[in-house]
Structure 1
């Protein structure tokens, strides 16, 4: 069986293939599913993954309990793969990251207002599917995060 990871990865000169993907898709990019494991949570088994794939990254990495959509943000996991958390665009038997497409095409992909303000795609969506509650945690506001050289993380459940 052929998977997205079997496709040729384009990581330089992405502009031409990204433009072709936008054109062929009528302005839409086809994104491959982006699965993220968490070592500190148990998967709830409702993401429609085959049970054999719940621990596809290995038991030490934890179970897959998140699916990310339109992500240009790497997952902040220990021992992560270099592209973990990044969404891939699939086109013409090849794949390239949405982050590279946004970097090459800017406002043509995300709109000029967002591109001119952030120079990146600053958001993503995700499904959580945990067996139980997640541990207590907080996400800093933009102002709080700036105090330690980070970006804020607006999030709601």
Structure 2
């Protein structure tokens, strides 16, 4: 009896503190493989303005179909970048016509992603842009579809 009273009191106390059970562990992404091949990435980079582009990040949506590679033209925080999207290894291009700095991409749902853009405003230092916006992207009929206007200065 005493144990059940203690357990009930503990349940009430933890519920009042906002406790919730831990989330399920993240699913493994090992099944997705390495993403687009080096040749596929090189083919997409060849369509960018001339420069010394290097890969800085890559990722994929949960269903492994939509993949992306972020490339940069330098090592400074405000170096030009571009995000290149792929559908099962086939290049789809970029939602941004011109390279710009401060691009990050995150998976959203099973087959979508969100591209976050940042830009400097006023007296912002290169490390710390204050302008920020995002656009959702997905694959429809084998093409990259941008679901929101691409933000920017």
Q: TM-score range by the shorter chain?
A: under 0.3
TM-score (norm 2): 0.24
Q: Judging by fraction of residues, say which structure has more helix.
A: 1
TM-score (norm 1): 0.24
Which of structures 1 and 2 has the bigger CA Rg? 2
